[in-house]
A and B are shown apart, each in its own frame.
Chain A
Amino acid sequence: AQKITQTQPGMFVQEKEAVTLDCTYDTSDQSYGLFWYKQPSSGEMIFLIYQGSYDEQNATEGRYSLNFQKARKSANLVISASQLGDSAMYFCAMRERSSGNTPLVFGKGTRLSVIA
């Protein structure tokens, strides 16, 4: 079974509009972390935002926010005021167990294209 599911292979958004990228996850652990990474065409993986399973408030980092719905096991990324530079692949990832050793499990990604 997929641990991380990203159902949108591609998304388009108009510049300056907000966009939501979907992510659902599957775990039986009580303690876990959820992450979003951005991968521009140059290939590097850029850490965007983190949400811990015990965090009661949704994480925010600048124009990025994470809409965390624990009961639904969803961790959607919201990008506000989209910019052309936001065009990239976006990967949702999960780390089960609260340990620095634990690997990240990634979804298949969503390609976001921002249109001028």
Chain B
Amino acid sequence: EPEVTQTPSHQVTQMGQEVILRCVPISNHLYFYWYRQILGQKVEFLVSFYNNEISEKSEIFDDQFSVERPDGSNFTLKIRSTKLEDSAMYFCASGSGGPAHEQYFGPGTRLTVT
């Protein structure tokens, strides 16, 4: 069964460094999303992406963040100049845009900023 994959599973970085989180969505899906979950808290939306551009973004998704679909398979989230409060689990999700518009999540990347 097709699934969303994410790499790395765990990333440790120092404050102020840049990180790139990578995702491979399900191949025939058209809609892509990034969410994050700070430890013990609820899942929060960051950004959605469709037709090679950002569709929606939350107030969390400020100039520190960017997304890119550099080729036909990868979908990346870049965080410039990481802060301690960026430590969280980052989930990529993709959807086919079918009637339910259900979103399938990857296993997540746990980002730890020290």
- A contact set with B: CB distance below 8 Å: 33, 35, 37, 42-47, 50, 52, 91, 93, 95, 98-109
Contacts and interface: CB of A to CB of B under 8 A. Distances in A.
A91 B89 CA distance: 15
Interface in B56-114: 56, 58, 89, 91, 93, 95-97, 99-108, 110
Interface centre among A33, A100, A104 (most CB of B within 10 A): A100
Given A44-B108, A106-B42, A108-B42, A98 B101 contact: yes
A43 B108 contact: yes
Contacts, number: 68
B41 A100 contact: no
B105 A37 contact: yes
Given A47-B102, A50-B102, A52-B100, A109 B110 contact: no
Given A37-B105, A47-B103, A106 B43 contact: yes
